[in-house]
Amino acid sequence: MASKEHIQKLIFTHNRRLQYLKEQQAAFGLETSPAVLIEIENIETELDQLSVDLSAFAAPWQSQHPQAPRVHIYNWGKPPAQFPKKDEAITLDWVEPGWFVTHPDKSRRPPTPEMWEQTLWPRLRQLPAETGADPWIRLEGQCAHSTGFAFGTIFRAKERYHIEVAQHVPDKDGIEYWTSTAQPPEQAALPTFTLYQAEHNISNPGGEGVIIVAALNNTPLMQILEDVGTYFGQAEAFAQIPTHQAAVTAVKGVLVLEATAAVRQQRPLEGWEAAGLARTSTQLVNHFKTRIKPDRLHLFMAAPLGLAVFMGHFWQNVNKELVFYEQTRTERVYTPTYTITLP
C-alpha cells in the first residue's frame, strides 16, 4: 500500500479534477460530453477506493485509552476460561439459562423483557457509579446488540461520556478499537446513510414506526428487509421497500438507514464511519418520528456492535418508547428484547 501522505495527495488531486468536471457538467447539462461523464464516474470510483486505503491508517489495533475503566460483557458464545481480575475490569457474565442462550443449532434466545426490566437494566444503571469520574469508558467482551445499545444509553454523549468499543472485525481477523469521538481521516468524505422509506396512513394518529439499520458487507439489503418483514408477517412487502413500491401495511412507517460507502464497496464498516453515522442518525430518526408521529419505535440492527453502542450513546431528543429487537435465527428471525423510553 502507498504511504498515507501519497494517498492524501492523490485524493486532493482527484477532488480538484472532479470539482472542475462537475462544474463542466453543471454548465452543459444534458449536452455534457460522454467523455466527461465517464471521467467523473472513474474518478468517483477511484476516490472510493482511496478512502478505503486511507482509513486503514486510522484503524487502531490497540486501545487508545488503556487507563480508562473497562467493562467486560459476555452475552453470546463461550465466555473465556479466565475473566479479567476484579481490579482490572467490571465483568458481567450473562451467559446462562434464562439469560442469553446460544443453542447447538446456532439459534439464540435473549432474555425476556421481564428479565431486562427486573435484573439487567438495574445492573447496567449501576455502572456509572462503579466506573468513577473518568469520561472514557471501554467496552469489551462478546456483547449482544441489545446490550450494546443499552450500554450506549447509560453512558450518553450528552452526559460527558466517551466510549471505546473493542470491535471484532471478521474480515480483518482481529479486534479494532472504535471510539465515539473518531473523525474521518484527512481528505476522506463524511460517512452517509442511504435512506429508504415506506409509509401507510401517516395522517392517522398512533401506530408503529420501524427503523432498520443496515451496515453489513456480507448480507444483501433485500435479505435484511425480508428478515425484518418476516417478524411482521410481510416479508415480501418489506423486501420491496428500496423499489419505492412496497405495500407495507403492518406498521405506519419504515425508515431504512443503509451505510452508503461500506455497503456499496462491499467492505466492513470502519470505526470512524460508525461514529459519524451514529451522530448523523439522530437527526434522521427525529425527522422520521416527527413526520409519521408513531406511538412507538421499533429498532432492528444488521450492523457491527460498535454502531449499536454509538447510536445508543448519541441519540437524543427522541422522546419515544423504543423496542429493541435481537436477531435469534429462529422462524421469525428477530425477537423483542426490551422497551426503553428514550429521552
Residue-wise pLDDT tens digits, 280-335: 999 999 999 999 999 999 999 999 999 999 999 999 999 999 999 999 887 888 99
Q: Residues 195, 206: contact at Cβ < 8 Å? A: no
Share of the chain above pLDDT 70, in %: 95
290 is a domain residue? yes
186 is a domain residue? no
Grid cell, residue 145, equals 446488540
Average pLDDT over residues 176-185: 93
Q: pLDDT-based confidence at 222, cuts 50/70/90?
A: very high
What distance in Å separates the CA atoms of residue 8 and residue 122, rounded to the nearest whole number? 47
185 is a domain residue? no
Is there a single domain that holds both residue 145 and residue 233?
Answer: no
Q: What is the CATH number of the domain that holds 295?
A: 3.40.50
Residue reference for cell 501519497: 6
187 is a domain residue? no
Is there a single domain that holds both residue 197 and residue 338?
Answer: yes
Q: Which residue has the higher pLDDT, 73 or 11?
A: 73
Please count the structural domains in the chain. Answer: 3
Is there a single domain that holds both residue 304 and residue 230?
Answer: yes
Q: Does 17 have pLDDT greater than 80? A: yes
Going 202 to 208 to 214 to 219, the CA torsion angle's sign is negative
Share of the chain above pLDDT 90, in %: 58
Is there a single domain that holds both residue 222 and residue 243?
Answer: yes
Is there a single domain that holds both residue 231 and residue 292?
Answer: yes
9 is a domain residue? yes
Domain membership of residue 76 as a residue range: 70-179
Is there a single domain that holds both residue 37 and residue 174?
Answer: no
Query: Considering the chain, what is the average pLDDT of its residues?
Result: 89
What distance in Å separates the CA atoms of residue 144 and residue 7, rounded to the nearest whole number? 36
- Most confidently predicted of 99-113, 166-180, 279-293: 279-293
Average pLDDT over residues 87-115: 90
Grid cell, residue 228, equals 425484518
Q: Does 170 have pLDDT greater than 80? A: no
164: which residues sit within 8 A by CB, 6+ positions away? Answer: 63, 64, 65, 68, 136, 137, 138, 139, 177, 178, 179, 180
* SS3 call for 204: coil
Average pLDDT over residues 46-75: 80
Is there a single domain that holds both residue 76 and residue 28?
Answer: no
Is there a single domain that holds both residue 219 and residue 283?
Answer: yes
Going 139 to 94 to 334 to 299, the CA torsion angle's sign is negative
Give the pLDDT of residue 173. 64
pTM value surpassing 0.85: no
Q: pLDDT-based confidence at 340, cuts 50/70/90?
A: very high
**End residue of a domain, out of 118, 147, 179:** 179
Q: Does 50 have pLDDT greater than 80? A: no
Alpha helices per DSSP H over the chain? 4-28, 34-55, 113-115, 121-125, 127-131, 145-154, 221-232, 235-239, 260-264, 271-292, 305-314
52 is a domain residue? yes
Closest by CA to 185, choosing from 273, 260, 268, is 273
Is there a single domain that holds both residue 204 and residue 336?
Answer: yes
Average pLDDT over residues 156-176: 87
* SS3 call for 327: strand
Is there a single domain that holds both residue 105 and residue 173?
Answer: yes
Is there a single domain that holds both residue 211 and residue 323?
Answer: yes
Is there a single domain that holds both residue 162 and residue 233?
Answer: no
162: which residues sit within 8 A by CB, 6+ positions away? Answer: 135, 136, 137, 179, 180, 181
What distance in Å separates the CA atoms of residue 326 and residue 310, rounded to the nearest whole number? 17
